[in-house]
Amino acid sequence: MDRTRPVYILSVGCGPSTELYGAVQALNDMTISYMGIDRNPIWNEIQNFNIDRFEQTPHIVQYTSEDFFSFIKDRWADILILNYFFSDLIKFSPDITDDFINRLADLINNGIFKWVVINDIPLFYKDGTGYICMEHLAQKLSPAIKVARRHFATPNDFQPIYGTKLPCNLSIPIVEQNVQTFNPFESKGSIQLIIKVNHSQK
């Protein structure tokens, strides 16, 4: 990746942007230009906090409520993030889920993103889960595109093993006392689909 420019990250359905902080830690020697897309105004306060938090740093943090496909037209990103997006999409907007997956697959196959990181809930029902959406998307990708599946928690007897097992401990432990009343998770339990796209350098 070209280290002379920022890493462009686009997060769809970003909510509070927890992945922003993970990206800053993971890419700690690089500048990040982050754009979060979310239409729910419930997140406005914490999104404004995030903008203020990074204002005096080299990183650029922005948000929009624009439609994802309208926004990405004539644009591209190094990394696309869908963090718990699919499980919400299929739960609240099942009628548009298939169309979204088809259009997203077209963007990925056309090289609009270098990486796509999908993180979601480890529910493995036949219908109505992020897992099903992830697998439908994977089936629509070009054979030249590399796909990796990962999980953190050890599955129970009724769950399939979703790809490679990774450590479940938090990369950034939650130690702030003022959030302990909300009982934050102490470990990771999600599943991930990581898509690496080979295309010309932007």
Taking only the tens place, the pLDDT of each residue in 124-140 is: 988 899 999 999 999 99
| Most confident of the following: 1-10, 17-26, 155-164 | 17-26
Query: In the predicted model, is pLDDT for residue 192 greater than 70?
Result: yes
pLDDT mean over 30-40: 97
Cα 69 to Cα 132, 135, 147, 157, 177, distances in angstroms:
21, 21, 23, 39, 40
What mean pLDDT value characterizes the chain?
90
Q: What are phi and psi of 110, to 5 degrees?
A: -90, 5
What is the pLDDT averaged over residues 160-172?
81
Report, in angstroms and rounded to the nearest whole number, the Rg of the chain calculated over CA atoms.
17
CA 35 to chain centre: 12
More confident of the two residues 154 and 109: 109
- Using CA atoms, how far apart are residues 112 and 12, in angstroms rounded to an integer? 15
Most confident of 23-32, 93-102, 162-171, 174-183: 93-102
Residue 121: its pLDDT value, please?
93
Determine which helix (DSSP H) or strand (DSSP E) holds 116, and give its type and residue range. Answer: strand 113-120
φ/ψ of residue 169, rounded to 5: -70, 150
The residues pairing with 33 across neighbouring beta strands, listed in sequence order, are 8, 60
Task: Tell me the pLDDT tens digit for each residue of 51-95.
Answer: 999 999 999 999 999 999 999 999 999 999 999 999 999 999 999
Q: How far apart are the first and last CA of the chain?
A: 10
The domain made up of 7-196 is a member of CATH 3.30.43.10: no
- Three-state secondary-structure class, residue 77: strand
Looking up tokens 């994802």 gives 68
The pLDDT tens digits for 94-130 are 999 999 999 999 999 999 999 999 999 999 988 899 9
Chain centroid to CA 179: how far?
Answer: 23
At 42, which amino acid appears? I
Q: What is the residue extent of each domain of the chain?
A: 7-196
pLDDT of residue 158: 82
